[in-house]
Amino acid sequence: MLTYETAPNTASGLSAETAASLGRALSRSVRSHPSHERAALASALDDGLMPDEVARILAGRRVAEAFPVRWGESPEAYAARTVSEMFVAYLQ
């Protein structure tokens, strides 16, 4: 079973505490993919996941740690795939 985490999001509607916790998760990544992670988080929130649900899915990890970026994957493709995987994780 895969487990997932969340990264920071700058979308409006996030409390300062939630944004800070998501930011801490993003800053711990070994390899940084900020544009991919921002796209995935924005897409997750746009598609209906709540910030607390994303944080639970990510369980303290960065988005790219929970859902590794594939070689050559665009931020848009990564966001679409990652949000699908987040919904699967949420339903399990």
Does residue 85 or residue 11 have the better pLDDT?
A: 85
* Average pLDDT estimate for 22-51: 80
Q: Is the pLDDT of residue 92 over 90?
A: no
Q: Where are the domains of the chain?
A: 16-91
CA angle 69, 29, 58 (to 5 degrees): 75
Residue 33 pLDDT: 85
Q: How confident is the model at residue 90 (pLDDT cuts 50, 70, 90)?
A: very high
What span, in angstroms and rounded, lies between the C-alpha atoms of 62 and 78?
14
Residues 41-64, mean pLDDT to the nearest whole number:
95
Structural tokens at position 72:
């050559």
Q: What tens digit of pLDDT does each residue of 1-33 get?
A: 455 555 544 444 556 666 555 655 555 444 678
61 pLDDT above the threshold of 80? yes
Answer for the pair 39, 2: CB distance below 8 angstroms, yes or no: no
Coil, strand or helix at 28? coil
Question: Which residue matches tokens 């300062």?
Answer: 16
pTM: 0.65
Task: Give the pair of three-digit tokens for residue 75.
Answer: 């931020």
Question: Judging by beta carbons within 10 Å of its beta carbon (0-12, 13-18, 19+), is residue 73 exposed, middle or buried?
Answer: middle
